[in-house]
A and B are shown apart, each in its own frame.
Chain A
């Protein structure tokens, strides 16, 4: 079945450091891929998405490229800020899973000033 695997956290970085959060997936079809972010005390909100191979999603300085050959959708940011501290979730939606979102376990990011 479909699944999403994320790197375990927490990930602790200093302000202005480069960020990568790894996400790989298993899917039988051609899924859409998402990154959601959960700030402390809040619900999840969509950060970015990509709907087909080689698409790049971007928002708020974050980027992720849909790599079908490596079944990956790694999240990157060139210079993180304290305000980026949150939990980041990778997810996929696929016709074979009846369009239900399949979630990774989440990666907690801590940015120190």
Chain B
């Protein structure tokens, strides 16, 4: 069972370049989300989706776009990369969004913007 798959694992971008971080899950989960992890700051929510065709902003959405055309896929787009977006990015999914639901995470994408 693959779970949550993120690609790529590592990426270096130049300032101003664009790229898409891919995320796919095979658990038929409705809820998917993107986080960034920075030292000393825990995980911060970027965007999330409660189902195909529905997305919403999290705590730190600026500079990022998302779409959810299928239940399985939830790509994160950086339109014009900035050094402040250097971080580790995690995609997560869960069956639903309730008090007790377990979140499943991908292995992360380490992004460096130079």
Contacts and interface: CB of A to CB of B under 8 A. Distances in A.
A105 B99 contact: no
Given A36-B103, A46-B102, A100-B48, 8 more contacts: A43-B92, A43-B108, A44-B92, A49-B100, A49-B102, A93-B100, A99-B97, A103-B43
A43 B42 contact: no
A43 B105 contact: yes
Contacts, number: 57
A64 B97 CA distance: 23
Contacts of B100: 32, 49, 51, 93
Given A32-B100, A44-B90, A93-B99, A100 B58 contact: yes
Interface residues of A, number: 24
A43 B99 contact: no
A43 B4 contact: yes
A43 B99 CA distance: 21
B2 interface: no
25 contacts: A4-B42, A31-B99, A36-B103, A42-B107, A42-B108, A43-B6, A43-B92, A43-B105, A43-B106, A43-B107, A43-B108, A44-B92, A44-B103, A45-B105, A49-B102, A89-B43, A93-B98, A93-B99, A98-B97, A99-B97, A99-B101, A100-B58, A101-B43, A103-B42, A105-B42
